[in-house]
Amino acid sequence: MKSGSYPDRHRTLGALLRAPWRVLEGRVYGAMAERGFPEVRPAHGVVFRHIEADGSRVSDLADRAGMAKQSMAYLVSHLEEHGYLRVGPDPLDGRAKRVILTERGEAVLKAAHDLSRSIEAEWALAIGAGPMETLKRDLGRLWDYLEAEDHQS
Amino acid sequence: MKSGSYPDRHRTLGALLRAPWRVLEGRVYGAMAERGFPEVRPAHGVVFRHIEADGSRVSDLADRAGMAKQSMAYLVSHLEEHGYLRVGPDPLDGRAKRVILTERGEAVLKAAHDLSRSIEAEWALAIGAGPMETLKRDLGRLWDYLEAEDHQS
């Protein structure tokens, strides 16, 4: 398995979830250079994954990613430098900065979704369309449960 | 959802895999302090996850985790300092270092497995025992496919 995920001693639920995700992430970000985005690396996934359509504050991105604000600011500054993001003052709080995807940044997001969908299609061929469908259905149920639980707490 | 994973714009397969894994990881490592292991943080998961029963070289741990050797050495040194690991010369290569879990480190691994199993049981109650069973079966099929594919490449 790419990303060396299989030496896990046991196939715990955590390992079963993490291993295919890491393969997927590795393939999606590994293909970015050939799609014309050579500066985008797996570490930048947390930015593209968590940024909102109308932009996000760096501190909110950091919270969502479970990272220090300084580490997020570093990733954001790299992506800004290469034209994937624009950073400006937050309209609601002049002291805060707001980050928004440029057209080039939006193109990365689209490429990531396209790549992800084609990998999913490949895996559906490998394990069968039925199992892929039940897999997504069961993961969706788990998602609903975790989201509801989070809103209660 | 804990770890702020739900602002994903779409429920892609990657998001569906990653979100529950992050909740699981957060809960397992969040409970380490009360289990008597206050120095163990989520970042150390890569060490406990990838270390082999008879010990591993730092460079192999770094490869498996997809990290720089220096970053892995930093995590290893923190865990060694707090009595979770022993670091000694590699019996097969005197210039390399080999890392092995102490009894205290093995206890962390056991606690992580116990916590993981009890979260899995809670989730099985939430989504149903049947869906949890098919979820693990389908993830197992995906694992088998990815492992076979990796050995071919």
Q: Could you read off the pLDDT of B31-64 as tens digits, one per residue? A: 999 999 999 988 899 899 899 988 999 999 999 8
Q: How confident is the model at residue A9 (pLDDT cuts 50, 70, 90)?
A: low
Binned at pLDDT 50, 70 and 90, residue B150 comes out as: confident
A2 or B95: which carries more pLDDT confidence?
B95
Contacts 24+ apart (CB under 8 A), A72-80: A72/A46, A72/A47, A75/A43, A75/A44, A75/A46, A75/A47, A76/A47, A78/A39, A78/A44, A79/A39, A79/A40, A79/A44, A79/A47, A79/A105
- What pLDDT shows up at residue B5? 39
Q: Within a domain: residue B75? A: yes
Q: Which of B2, B52, B139 sits opposite A7 (nearest CB)?
A: B52
List, for residues A88-115, the tens digit of each pLDDT value: 888 888 788 899 999 999 999 999 999 9
Residues 6+ positions from B47 with CB-CB distance below 8 Å: B61, B72, B75, B76, B79, B85, B99
Residues of A whose CB is below 8 A from B50 = 4, 7-8
Give me the pLDDT at residue A146, please: 93
Q: Flag whether B12 is in a domain.
A: yes
- A4 has pLDDT over 50: no
Domain CATH for B25: 1.10.10.10
Asked if the structure places residue A104 within a domain, the reply is yes
The alpha-helical segments, DSSP class H, found in chain B are 13-30, 45-50, 58-65, 69-81, 103-127, 129-152
Which residues in chain B touch residue A4, judged by CB atoms under 8 angstroms apart? 50, 63-66
Tell me whether residue B1 is in a domain: no
- Cβ–Cβ gap A127/B120 under 8 Å: no
With cut-offs at 50, 70 and 90, classify the pLDDT of residue A149. Answer: confident
Domain that holds residue B16: 8-152
Query: A43 falls in which pLDDT band (50, 70, 90)?
Result: confident
Contact between B102 and B11 (Cβ < 8 Å): no
A1 falls within a domain: no
Asked if residue B34 is part of any domain, the answer here is: yes
B55 domain residue, yes or no: yes
Q: What pTM does this model have?
A: 0.82
Number of domains in chain B: 1
Any domain includes B101:
yes
Angle between helices A69-81 and A58-65 (to 10 degrees): 120
- Taking the C-alpha atoms of residue A74 and residue A62, their distance in angstroms, rounded to an integer, is 11
Query: B129-152 vs A129-152: helix axis angle to the nearest 10?
Result: 120
